[in-house]
């Protein structure tokens, strides 16, 4: 199985979106075993319920036990509610572990966002850089500026790919095969790897097609992705299974002579990446 790059801090195999207005769904999501739960203030929330969503997200951050799952909040873009999103969720007794910034098209957007997070950290007396950024690349402008975006800020820990919005921006026709987004999808993974960031793949939107989900997830793994966005709880297990090294892969990665021949350095690096993924996924001590 191909070996994706490994993030510096934690596994992010499946990150589950959950509308912040749905407290019952959030309570359930916290115990489903996903590597992360994204409290969504953006696309998953009607414009008339944005203020309610912020308050509910802050409350969930304050009083809900997410277990070992990463607690993330997807904010709205600049000029469309981001400032209020940070103000309300950043005042929670326990601020998010990470924020997901959508529609990123420049390095300056990441830097401005980082300065806002620094203010949240000072308020909570957290070490600088404690709160991380995951940036969604979902427009043509974002794709062509990937190099500057990927190197923009030390807080940036992952690049996410948004195929649906990208196709809308390009006027491209979305197909099951995904040829129309293959170049951009690969570019996100390449630029993430160049900066030692994680690449998180686009959601699979057909909830009735588990075989298609698994196939697309495996394709993402082969391109260098470390995880995939999930939009329904039933997608968590198939996604995380694909991104979890098997016992056979771990065993082969731990040896330096394979099938009677010496292992060269590229194979050593690939083996080290598999072992790191296995440790992050909790299948290797």
Active site residue 264: yes
Cβ–Cβ under 8 Å, residues 196 and 221: no
Q: Which two tokens stand for residue 69?
A: 């799952």
Mapping DSSP onto H, E and C, the string for the chain reads CCCCCCCCCCCCCEEEEEECCCHHHHHHHCCCCCCEEEEECCCCCCHHHHHHHHHHHHHHHHHCCCCCCEEEEECCCCCCCHHHHHHHHCCCCCCCCEEEECCCCCHHHHHHHHHHHHHHHHHHCCCCCCCEEEEEECCHHHHHCHHHHHCCCCCEEEEEECHHHHHHHHCCCCCCCCHHHHHHHHHHHHHHHHCCCEEEECCCCCCCCHHHHHHHHHHHHHHCCCEEEECCHHHHHHHHHHCCCCHHHHHHHCCCEECCEECCHHHHHHHHHHHHHHHHHCCCC
Cβ–Cβ under 8 Å, residues 138 and 173: no
Q: Which two tokens stand for residue 246?
A: 């098997």
25 alpha-carbon distance from chain centroid? 19
Closest listed residue to residue 101, CA positions, set 57, 184, 40, 60? 40
Q: Catalogue the active-site residues.
A: 264
């Amino acid at each position: 199985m191909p070996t994706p790059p490994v993030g510096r801090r934690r596994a992010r195999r499946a990150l589950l979106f959950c509308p912040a207005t749905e407290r019952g769904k959030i309570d359930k999501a916290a115990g489903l075993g996903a590597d992360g739960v994204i409290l969504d203030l953006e696309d998953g929330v009607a414009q008339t319920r944005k203020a309610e969503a912020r308050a509910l997200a802050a409350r969930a951050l304050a009083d809900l036990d997410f277990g070992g799952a990463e607690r993330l909040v997807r904010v709205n873009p600049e000029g469309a509610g981001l400032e209020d999103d940070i103000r309300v969720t950043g005042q929670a007794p326990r601020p998010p572990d990470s924020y997901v910034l959508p529609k990123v098209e420049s390095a300056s957007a990441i830097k401005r966002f980082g300065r806002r997070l620094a203010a949240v950290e000072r308020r909570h007396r957290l070490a600088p850089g404690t709160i991380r950024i995951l940036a969604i690349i979902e427009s043509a402008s974002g794709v062509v500026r990937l190099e500057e975006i990927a190197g923009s800020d030390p807080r940036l820990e992952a690049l996410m790919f948004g195929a649906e919005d990208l196709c809308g921006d390009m006027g491209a026709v979305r197909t099951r095969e995904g040829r129309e987004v293959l170049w951009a999808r690969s570019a996100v993974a390449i630029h993430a790897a160049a900066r030692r960031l994680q690449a998180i793949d686009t959601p699979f939107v057909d909830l009735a097609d588990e075989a298609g989900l698994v196939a697309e997830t495996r394709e993402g793994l082969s391109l260098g992705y470390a995880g995939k966005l999930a939009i329904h709880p039933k997608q968590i297990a198939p996604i995380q299974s694909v991104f979890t090294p098997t016992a056979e892969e771990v065993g082969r990665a731990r040896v330096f002579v394979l099938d009677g021949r010496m292992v060269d350095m590229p194979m050593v690096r690939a083996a080290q990446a598999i072992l790191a993924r296995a440790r992050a996924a909790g299948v290797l001590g």
